[in-house]
Structure 1
Amino acid sequence: MKASRDLSGLVKFLSRDDWTFHFEEVMGDHFWSVMDEFDLDREEIGEALGDHWSMTLWGCVFEDFLTQVFEPDGQTFVDAYLKRRGWKESAQAKAYMKALSVSVMSLYEVSEIVPGKSFLARDLIRGGEPILISEGTATQTLKRWVRIAARIVTIGGKHIIAGGLLPFSLEASDALLEGLKVLPGKRHRSKAKPSLDDDMLRVAAPLFTHAFLFDNLPKAFGETQPFVHNSDGDEIVFHEVRFPLATGTTQKDIAARLEGVPNLRQENAQFWNLLGQRPQSHRMKARAPNAIAAGVTMEDGTPVLGDLELKGRLLVLSANSAARAAKGTTLLENVLGQMVRAPLTTIQTIEQMKASRKGRETSSDEIPLEVATPLVHAMLDKQYREVLDEPVRMLGDIAPRAAIRTKKGREKVVEWLKYLEYRSASSQNPQDPMATYDFGWLWRELNVENLRR
């Protein structure tokens, strides 16, 4: 007896009558617009994504095909198959096929994962309370707050996921939800969320494939690199400006001249931080969906624009953007004058720096995880505790403690916390201190722990 979710009989039955033609039409609905946009055929798309995602997408199309009603008989492919071959299938297999034939693809947010057993899934399109999904394999890799496109069917009183499961980035999710808002025939009850009944959602199935491919194909071809910027909004490009000391000038002379200079904070006899102005919020704001804000701040939140270090007969200014390097160079030329000679500047992009470090052995003095983790977690504790009373852009420039005073504010705070938690857990290394940070105390501190589901 075949397994209750084995669809091999259905797949073989595709070769009968005109079903292959109908299946190719559904395949076209899912792929044609993407093929036109990227000037690729289906085989090239499959090669770019790899065998796993190629087969997963085929499964998504096949499951959509199973929901189609065909004339002149007004029956689905499942109806036709069970009528002719149903006697070969178990009762459980037939129940699964029938459930697939009336299923819909939707977008879900994952929470409360029990590895090897279950997770909660909230429907982000149709709304409602999260439902418990019985699942073994996927729960081994799913992370809290990840978004997935999937078909959830009910068999024997349990909710299970069909085979075609697609992980969605936040950007792909937003693109999908925006597309569903303008779907022809949709009921316009809310500007914030699409309002679709099951029939409309069934028609919209190809949009899930489109959103997934438009997000992942550029990544597969290396066409999308995140725009990494500092707190000033400048693209991060590493500048090293080396000032040779003039004849007769010593390190002590340089240190004495730099003493008391505004915006310079001395760390030791040979090292200074070049500081900027402390912003109203400690949190840097990404400028675009694929932008990443990065930078270093002092304990009080003051941004570090660069650093100065005396190295032998050189004073070296390091900064992470052209604007900051120019600002530091002007400052040093005005303060030091003829104590230094004309500087020499070298520039490295993030990609160049990564390439230069490839193949290097791990430094023997690299901080081990057991040391780095508590340090990073303590830093994050301090940072997030301060942010609770600072304006946050995602909350409409309202502090989290203030936002939770209203129902709408609490909803925004929950989305903000989910965003923080999801981004933190997105590290490729599951042992990275950022990935292992526990955000639970933030939910409790803001009294929204009951909404963490």
Structure 2
Amino acid sequence: MPTSHDLKGLMKFLAREEWRDCFDEVFEDHFGPVLEAGEMDFEDIAEILGDNWAMTLWGCAFEDFLTQDFEVEGGNIVDEYLKRRGWKENAQVKAYMQALRTSVMSLYEVSEIVPGKSLIARDLIRGGEPIIVSEGTATKTLKQWDQIAARIVPVLGKNVFAGGLLPFTPTATDALFDGLRQMFGKKNTKKLPAIKDKELRAAASMFTLSWLFDTLERAMGLPSMQNADGDELVFHDVRFPLATGVTQKAIAARVSNIPGMAQENAKFWNWLEQKPKHGAREQTGPSFDATMDNGARVLGNVELKGKFLHLSTNSAERAHMGTILIQQAVGDLVRVPLTEIRTIEQMMAERPLCDGEAPADKIPPEIAEQVVHQFMDRQYRDTLDQPVGMLGNKTPRQAVKSAAGRKKVAEWLKYLENQSSRQPNPADPMATYSFEWMWHELGVIDLRQ
């Protein structure tokens, strides 16, 4: 007995030569840039990521193909199949095929997950009211505030996911949004333009490409995520120890004179691009960079913390260039710098122990949870008054003073919650930590939806 998601008949119909050629065009849109950049075949993707992901990716291309009209007899394969073979299918299958025919791939944030039953999905691209989705499988693995690329289609009174569902990391989301801004003419702002369903439907391959570039990078390091200069995206924190007797005020005066340093406050600067970099390498994958409200690209940040001057940036090349600029400006006021290199995942997962604190697995679970939660309370309370990269290097308390900043703070808090919940053991103190107090403290609890 066929299920409501049974597309076997359509897949057999795909074997007809006219539809095979049309599908090849769509397949190339979804996978061509990745296969070319990695000098691989689609079978290599299956070998690297596994057959299940390969089938899901193929399904993303196939579902996109079902929405398109071509210059062949019948125009659209769903219309032609239902006209010629629809009598073979039951009402649920036909309803599902017709829903896929007009479906749109978008990026959703999920919440209120009921494992095995349902979830709430909020469209991060088109906006609108969140909707309830009936879902049995994905709800068992998805976490609060996860972001997924998917098609939500109505079938006989319920909203369901189509088969091509891809979990997006923040890096993949940044790459996707950057691509959408470039496609629809919003290159110098973080805000997405208003995108109509027809336009978003035409951009379906960007979801596959953004996910694949990000996933392959993490799986095998090829091709790497890049910044706008074509440099590999690797986060660097260069720490310059202040020389004995040197004050922060003396350092600040020198840093403020460095070309491109835009001072945010007494101890913090945004290092801005003065003019486009000549000779930048050709980009082979998605890229992203932070920009100011006026469109100026942020190359990095400089901050005074205690007895150190910190330079933070997202590539080895920029770290090297920034180090030279700072050393030329401050001279012997600082000593030889130390450099720490970290990925986004490492930065979010770090949890140093307090002095004298024992590892969690050496003490009773209930005591470990209490200790970790107390530490996280202190850590995050301090964070409320520190510049945060995801907030444009403003502190959370500064950011919530504007409507746009409040939205960014809500996104940041969701990211913290999501990362904390992704522990292998759901009883881990990190996974059980509640961030609700931060929402109330910052006055954005109304945006926790």
TM-score between the two structures when normalised by the length of structure 1: 0.68
Distance 2:369 2:238 in 1: 25
Correspondence for 2:269: none
Aligned residue runs from structure 1 range 62-211, under 5 A = 62-73=62-73, 75-183=75-183, 186=184, 191=189, 192-211=191-210
Whether 1:436 aligns to 2:437 is no
2:305 partner amino acid: P
* C-alpha displacement of 1:195: 2.7
Correspondence for 1:217: 216
1:232 partner amino acid: R
Distance 2:432 2:108 in 1: 23
Identity of aligned residues (%): 54
What's the secondary structure of 1:373's corresponding residue? Answer: helix
The structure having more radius of gyration, on CA atoms, is 1
Aligned residue runs from structure 1 range 24-423, under 5 A = 24-73=24-73, 75-183=75-183, 186=184, 191=189, 192-222=191-221, 232=239, 279=305, 287-288=313-314, 366-423=362-419
- CA separation of 1:136/1:278 partners in 2, compared to 1, >3 Å: closer, same or farther? same
TM-score between the two structures when normalised by the length of structure 2: 0.68
5+ residue gaps, structure 1, are 235-276, 291-321, 326-349, 351-362
- CA separation of 1:54/1:368 partners in 2, compared to 1, >3 Å: closer, same or farther? farther
* C-alpha displacement of 1:229: 6.2
What's the secondary structure of 1:120's corresponding residue? Answer: strand
* C-alpha displacement of 1:279: 2.8
* C-alpha displacement of 1:401: 3.5
Moved over 4 A (4+): 187-190, 222-231, 322-325
5+ residue gaps, structure 2, are 225-231, 242-302, 317-335, 340-345, 347-358
The answer to whether the 8 Å contact 1:233/1:287 transfers is no
Whether 1:451 aligns to 2:444 is no
The answer to whether the 8 Å contact 1:188/1:195 transfers is no
1:149 partner amino acid: A
Distance 1:425 1:4 in 2: 33
* C-alpha displacement of 1:286: 6.6
What's the secondary structure of 1:159's corresponding residue? Answer: strand
Distance 2:87 2:236 in 1: 62
Correspondence for 1:237: none
1:75 partner amino acid: G
- CA separation of 1:56/1:289 partners in 2, compared to 1, >3 Å: closer, same or farther? farther
The answer to whether the 8 Å contact 2:238/2:338 transfers is no
Instruction: Pick from 426, 434, 440 the counterpart of residue 422 of structure 2.
Output: 426
Count of aligned positions = 340
- CA separation of 1:436/1:94 partners in 2, compared to 1, >3 Å: closer, same or farther? same
1:202 partner amino acid: R
1:386-407: CA deviations, max 9, x gaps? Answer: 3334444433454434433432
The answer to whether the 8 Å contact 1:10/1:81 transfers is yes
The answer to whether the 8 Å contact 1:181/1:195 transfers is no
- CA separation of 1:402/1:206 partners in 2, compared to 1, >3 Å: closer, same or farther? closer
Distance 2:24 2:389 in 1: 46
